[in-house]
Amino acid sequence: MRVTNLKHILKQEHAVNLFQLALKKRRLSHAYLFTGPEGVGKETTAWAFMFHLFCEKNSEDPCGGCKSCKKLLKELHPDVLKIYPEKREITIDQIRSINSFIKYPPLEGNYRIVLIKPAEKMNLQASNALLKSLEEPPSYVIFILITENFTQLLPTIVSRSQVVRFRTLSSEVIKNFLMKKLSYEDKIAETLAEISQGSLGKAIEIMERGLIEELHAFVNAGFCSDQIFKFKIAERVASFELRTWELFFYVLSVWIWKSYLKKKYNLPYPSAFPQELFNQNPFTALKVIYEAKIALEHYVNPELVFYWLLIKIFNQEA
């Protein structure tokens, strides 16, 4: 559910304080650059900030129920322009659409917001086009650029924006949130917090996409000698969308590495992970996962890729 108030942003005090002070003094920058790891609240904060800007009843404590708030909740507000990648990048045509958006005054509020995520996906032409929009925007325009790594942006874009840094969250904070706010059971919450690299968003996404369960099924198929069962599991994983593949590869890699650390150094092993530990060379297995990713990028049949992955990663003969 969308966060409608900055005070509800989780453990990003620096960013929250910055915006609360700017809103109080009405000294807003024409461009903000949100930078930090994936899934730590950058886009959530951007939308919460917008509720403060557009709420018709209370800018200090947005109501979430007025006409403007309802439009923000549905991401349908006419004074907000969202720029996301088309396929793999943000194109110059998308950035050019900003010019026609910002040349007209707000329709329903006091501001027009341009949200660009992830900003590092702009190609060079798009980046140069954005620079022109950032030079002298109308006073009612606010740009919000979201990136995981601002060093991938043109230095001139960074210099024209106010940089707002976001930090990773502790495992304890993530675990408590998952248990208290989302009612995850203890073992699942602890595992997700441990493997999420400080990203609440990643933890929730792994759970919502059922990837702990998929990991169990994949591992069972890997240790099983039934080739038909292997192919059924490979077929199911092959049906996932691109983002789910990315997260699946991540969870599989974590399982391999955690297995290695458990066996070699007796380090803690995620309690919701499969009981079976990976017993082959982890470095070889991680190389195989990398090769599978490359194959998918080159449009090799996904069912064959994941069946091959099952065979190779568990070092079994076809």
Please tell me the predicted confidence (pLDDT) of residue 135: 87
Quick: pLDDT tens for 146-186. 999 999 999 999 999 999 999 999 999 999 999 999 999 99
Average per-residue pLDDT for the chain: 95
CA 126 to CA 128: how far, in whole Å?
Answer: 5
DSSP 109-145: SS-EEEEETTGGGB-HHHHHHHHHHHHS--TTEEEEE
Question: Which one-letter amino acid corresponds to residue 24?
Answer: K
Token pair belonging to 101: 């958006």
Q: Give the per-residue pLDDT at 1.
A: 62
* Per-residue pLDDT at 185: 96
Shortest CA distance to 50 belongs to which of 36, 74, 69, 27?
A: 69
Q: Please report the pLDDT score of residue 315 as a whole number.
A: 76
Record the tokens describing residue 263, joined without a space.
């066996």
pLDDT of amino acid 318: 41
- State the pTM of this model: 0.87
Backbone angles phi, psi at 74, to 5 degrees: -95, 0
Distances (CA, A) of 143 to 30, 79, 114, 202, 314: 6, 12, 5, 25, 49
User: How many angstroms separate the Cα of 248 from the Cα of each of 132, 158, 276?
Assistant: 40, 33, 18
**Residue ranges of the chain with per-residue pLDDT less than 70:** 1, 316-318
pLDDT (0 to 100) of residue 2 = 84
